[in-house]
A = this chain, B = another copy of it.
């Protein structure tokens, strides 16, 4: 591997000259003839500046750590992947690399601590909430990062401490799926939440309960199901619920993936969507419109959330600002999986 010293020697100039020319091709610090010599040496030796040496001496690494405090394959979640896509596109444009430090440990703050041990010296972080992160975990995580003192932004979490930069996906006024079901005439609605401790699920339950309350409809405890954001678990949860009596006429699922599990369960129970039971999903994953029937879903701007994370982070890195909050609203896409309730 050629070093800057080799280039300098071959071109007959000082290392400083090479370094400065590399940073700015138009510098007047280096004369024309010498520039040509340097260029030539670089080409001949296929010189590439060492990333780590450069980061160390510049005190700027052009590396953003993506922190998903969860042991297990990250890239399997189409939800996260969509956000990361937006993040990547925006950050690449500014020349930043994305680094995923190794995850190990069980409790989320422990995993994060381990990840930070491999991510010291980075320019910024994007912290993702996962279904294994309770609100307390995330507060602990955020506090840890604040002590580190490097700019960061949180994705995929309901609003937290005011000092934290966050991009927040919220249902928004145009998207209330429970209200939509109630307006259609449904009175016995189930909520397929994710994981009991997850802030997203808790928020979903609160909102559903509140909306039901406005219609003087009860959201019964037995109608709050937990599908762990996974297809097969949602399927079992739904099956279990159906075994207790099929008086439900609608289900709102906090992810399209879980909605697919609900489709499966309903089909096994010989219940038709939507004539027996209406189903609503969330995210508008690419497969949603291709299901039979096409899934009514709460579209959420995930890619946009990713690029907003990048935007906030870039701003935080250049100005040191914190406490920025960006809110992104969802919207309801009505397709074929919802209908007025029929008497059975």
Interface residues of A (CB under 8 A from B): 1, 46, 48-53, 55-56, 61-63, 71-76, 78, 81-82, 84-86, 88-89, 91-93, 95-104, 116-122, 147-149, 231, 260, 263-264, 286-287, 290-292, 303
Query: Which of chain B's residues have a CB closer than 8 A to the CB of A292?
Result: 291-292
In contact, A121 and B51 (Cβ under 8 angstroms): yes
In the complex, residue of chain B having the shortest beta-carbon distance to the beta carbon of A84: B75
Q: Which of B73, B88, B99, B117 contacts A85 (CB 8 A)?
A: B73
A77 and chain B: residue at smallest CB distance = B81
* B62–A118 touching, CB < 8 Å: yes
Please measure, in the bound complex, the distance between the C-alpha atom of A147 and the C-alpha atom of B104, giving whole angstroms: 35
State which of B1, B62, B96, B121 has its C-beta within 8 Å of the C-beta of A50: B121
- Partner pick for A78 among B71, B78, B99, CB 8 A cutoff: B78
Are B88 and A75 in contact, CB atoms less than 8 angstroms apart?
yes
Q: Apart from A51-B121, A71-B92, A231-B286, what are 6 other A-B pairs with CB-CB below 8 Å?
A: A48-B148, A49-B117, A49-B120, A52-B53, A78-B81, A264-B290
Closest to A122 in B: B51
Q: Which residue of B lies closest to A144 (CB)?
A: B46
Closest to A120 in B: B48
Complex Cα gap A63–B101 (Å): 9
Residues in chain B near residue A101, CB distance under 8 A: 97
Given A55-B52, A102-B97, A292-B292, A1 contacting B78 (CB threshold 8 A): no
Contacts of A148 in B (CB 8 A): 1, 46, 48
State A43–B256 Cα separation when bound (angstroms).
44
Quick one: which of B78, B102, B231 contacts A92, CB cutoff 8 A?
B102
Let me know if A51 and B120 touch, CB within 8 A.
yes
Residues from chain B with a CB closer than 8 A to the CB of A120 are 1, 48-51
Instruction: Find out whether the CB atom of B63 lies under 8 angstroms from the CB atom of A121.
Output: no
A287: nearest chain-B partner, CB-CB: B287
- Residues in B with CB closer than 8 Å to A48 are 116-117, 120, 148
If A98-B100, A100-B97, A147-B46 touch, whether A121 touches B52 (CB-CB below 8 Å) is: yes
CA distance A188 to B101 in the complex (A): 51
For residue A291, which residue of chain B has the nearest CB? B290
Cβ–Cβ contact A88 & B73, under 8 A:
yes
**Once the chains are docked, how many angstroms separate the CA of A231 from the CA of B147?**
46
Nearest CB in chain B: distance from A52 CB, A: 4
Question: In the complex, what's the smallest C-beta–C-beta distance from A330 to chain B, in angstroms?
Answer: 20
